[in-house]
Amino acid sequence: MKHSTTLLATWVTLRILIVLNWILGALIFALLAISFQAEEWTWRALGVGAVAGHESVVAGMRAIMVIGIVGTPMAYVVFSRLLRIVESVRTGEPFTMDNAGRLRTIAWALLGLELLHICVVAIASAVSTKEMPLRINGNFDLTGWLAILLLFVLAQVFLEGTGMSEDLEGTV
């Protein structure tokens, strides 16, 4: 099958995103660890200032860091499964049971990431004060939720299409 430049660009982009995702996760983990080792310096650098009087903000920011760490493997699931789908398209075998499963897995991972986003917004709202506001975009994003639904539907379409393809091959 002729490889399109779009597929190649997508493949390269996903490989880069996988590496950047793990680097970002490691940096968040390092920031969390440093926030315990060099407390005053870390919070001053992050704009909190002295920890005294801002304990709830510090705890909230640490909780958000933990959520970021949890989100790293979830994002990896999305990128790696999408990469496998792109590879199957490049080899000319896109409509497989494996890809149907991959689409479903991506949908579940994106659902998890959306729920983590809600947790981050809730934590930021709970610990934010007038003196120390945590400004995190808490706007409801309908697009992300629609993408999740679309992926679940596409997974089912792939599953049905694979079954029809296998039936067709059996009649030939």
The full DSSP string for 23-92 is: HHHHHHHHHHHHHHHSHHHHHHHTT---STT-HHHHHHHHHHHHHHHHHHHHHHHHHHHHHHHHHHHHTT
Rounded CA-CA distance 134/80 in Å is: 32
Query: Is the Cβ–Cβ distance between 105 and 81 less than 8 Å?
Result: yes
Give the model's pLDDT for residue 95: 86
Give the model's pLDDT for residue 156: 93
**pLDDT, average across residues 41-55:** 77
In eight-state DSSP terms, residue 108 is H
pTM: 0.86
Pairwise pLDDT comparison (134 vs 21), residue with the higher score: 21
- The pLDDT confidence band at residue 1, using thresholds 50, 70 and 90, is very low
Rounded CA-CA distance 67/71 in Å is: 6
Query: Is the Cβ–Cβ distance between 44 and 54 less than 8 Å?
Result: no
**Average pLDDT in the chain:** 89
Give the model's pLDDT for residue 65: 96
Task: Please enumerate in sequence order all residues whose Cβ is within 8 A of that of 124, keeping only pairs 6 or more positions apart, or say none.
Answer: 60, 64, 134, 135, 136, 138
Give the model's pLDDT for residue 168: 60
Query: Is the Cβ–Cβ distance between 106 and 158 less than 8 Å?
Result: no
Q: What are phi and psi of 38, to 5 degrees?
A: -120, 65
Domain boundaries, the chain: 5-171
